[in-house]
Amino acid sequence: MLKKGDKKLINAWAFYDWANSAYSLVIATAVFPIYYSSLTESFASAEEKIYFLGTQWNSTTLYDYTLAFSFLVVAFMSPILSGIADYTGNKLKFLKFFCFLGSFSVMSLYFFEGEKTLWVGLVFTVFASIGFWGSIVFYNAYLPEIAHPEQQDKVSAKGFMFGYTGSVLLLLFSLVMVNKPEIFGLPNAAAASRLTFLLVGIWWLGFAQITYNYLPNNVYDRKPQKDFIWKGLRELKVVYDEMKQHSELKFFLLSFFMFSVGVQTIILMAGIFGSKELGLPTMDLIAVILLVQIVAIFGAYLFSRISARIGNISALKITISIWALVCGVAFLLDKSQPNVSYYFYGLGGLIGLVMGAIQSLSRSTYSKLLPETKDHATYFSFYDVTEKLAIVFGMIVFGLLISLTGSMQMSVLFLAVFFIISFVLLNFVGKTKYVQ
């Protein structure tokens, strides 16, 4: 077994980001939301309403609430499963299960091709999301076990850099298929998009095998007794009681909740915002998403260096301030403006600069704030639950404001409030350990 801090072990851990980020980019952010939007428009009523489960829905709101439901499921079950995983020492098995669930659900989206199969698109969107976010709980929990505290900023950033690079490569190939389907013997762009969903699932499951081959299991050699489910739930309560004694950890999680509301909602809804609010063509939307991913590679690296100089909390404050600026700029954009696509490109570059930065820094900051413990999965489940509840809350607020105002711009502006509150809360968190 490779030792903690070993470069090969760190690279294998980071490679899971390479594997799963194809889902977060192609499915959650780029191709699928645009495919869903264009497909539902083809059978929506004049009022842009569609029917599902006997009820009339705004298509964007329905997609929004579908994702929110999946995050709520993960938020409910991940602490329970992580408590069991910590007690039994089986984080790797849980990681494999959720990866399998997510990748096969993504492949199943291939069968979503019209109004009659809308249920396929929505049901497997839920299962794919549960698979992705469920696996992330156990993946993140490995960070303090594979890297020393002084390595964790760079290691966390490396994971996101691997992820952005791999997902961009697959997205570029997918774009060629979608725009030139005849080269691949496909009848149209819709068929190419559906084939992309298959490729994402294969990519995710295939490259994850590299991670599985190197990650350790049962690091602390735990020997669970027969009633491991009940003991796992007790493990969850023990960690919860421990967390209440660490005020800085509580303030960080509150701040993390607030900025996650903004960050994750913007990431999930950016493509639909550009399409419906600004009327941008698909190629412009995809190009901006690619720009975001490429700049994010640089941003994750840059802010890992900045955090080494000024500390994690100060670096996070900088990223949060820029995210609040993003909300203000997005509110000012309007489809009637000349060259609005150029402004959207600029906004994409700004988002890219801080997207990878805030995600990698928040993960490593939380890891550094943890007390000495063997229950890493359980501790990280609280981190992930905080993020999922933030996403659910953000998506519901975003969808509600769209329903009330008929515009996404007010929804985006409202997200700035969450960034401001998170900035204030970070003032109650001291410097993390091992600032260089």
**What is the 3-state composition of the chain as percent helix, strand, coil, each rounded to the nearest 5?**
80, 0, 15
**Is residue 209 included in any domain, yes or no?**
yes
- C-beta atoms surrounding 247 within 10 Å: 12
Contact 409, 239 (CB under 8 A): no
- C-beta atoms surrounding 5 within 10 Å: 13
Model pLDDT, residue 425: 94
**Is residue 2 included in any domain, yes or no?**
no
Residue matched to tokens 């404050």? 317
**Is residue 331 included in any domain, yes or no?**
yes
User: 214, exposed or middle or buried, with CB in 10 Å at 0-12, 13-18, 19+?
Assistant: middle
Model pLDDT, residue 183: 92
Contact 181, 189 (CB under 8 A): yes
**Is residue 289 included in any domain, yes or no?**
yes
Mean pLDDT by 10 residues, the chain (436 residues): 86 94 86 84 69 77 83 81 73 92 97 89 94 89 85 88 91 89 91 95 96 79 57 66 80 93 82 76 80 88 90 93 92 83 88 90 88 75 84 81 77 89 90 48
For 331, residues 6+ apart whose C-beta sits below 8 A from its C-beta are 409, 410, 412, 413
Report d(CA 332, CA 178) in Å as an integer: 31
Model pLDDT, residue 423: 96
49 beta partners? 58
Tokens of 375: 């229950």
The H or E element spanning position 56 is strand 55-58
Report d(CA 212, CA 20) in Å as an integer: 13
Which of 240, 241, 239, 235 shows the shortest CA–CA distance to 88?
235
Model pLDDT, residue 236: 65
Model pLDDT, residue 338: 82
Report d(CA 200, CA 210) in Å as an integer: 16
Residue at 407: amino acid letter: S
Find the distance separating the first CA and the last CA of the chain, reported in whole Å: 29
Model pLDDT, residue 173: 93
For 289, residues 6+ apart whose C-beta sits below 8 A from its C-beta are 25, 29, 30, 171, 270, 271, 348
User: 24, exposed or middle or buried, with CB in 10 Å at 0-12, 13-18, 19+?
Assistant: buried
Residue matched to tokens 């063997």? 374
The H or E element spanning position 49 is strand 49-52
Contact 256, 379 (CB under 8 A): no
Model pLDDT, residue 293: 85
For 219, residues 6+ apart whose C-beta sits below 8 A from its C-beta are 89, 145
Residue matched to tokens 């992330």? 136
Tokens of 65: 């609430």
Q: How far is CA 7 from the centre of its chain?
A: 25
Under DSSP, is residue 113 helix (H, G, I), strand (E, B) or coil?
coil
Report d(CA 400, CA 64) in Å as an integer: 10
**Is residue 119 included in any domain, yes or no?**
yes
Model pLDDT, residue 436: 37
The whole model's pTM is what? 0.80
Contact 271, 336 (CB under 8 A): no
Report d(CA 392, CA 66) in Å as an integer: 10
**Is residue 1 included in any domain, yes or no?**
no
Tokens of 68: 């929110």
CATH of the domain at 153: 1.20.1250.20
Report d(CA 267, CA 355) in Å as an integer: 9
Question: Domain of 264?
Answer: 7-217+225-426
Count of the separate structural domains present in the chain: 1
Q: How far is CA 270 from the centre of its chain?
A: 13
**Is residue 276 included in any domain, yes or no?**
yes
- Residue 216 C-beta-side C-alpha neighbours within 13 Å: 22
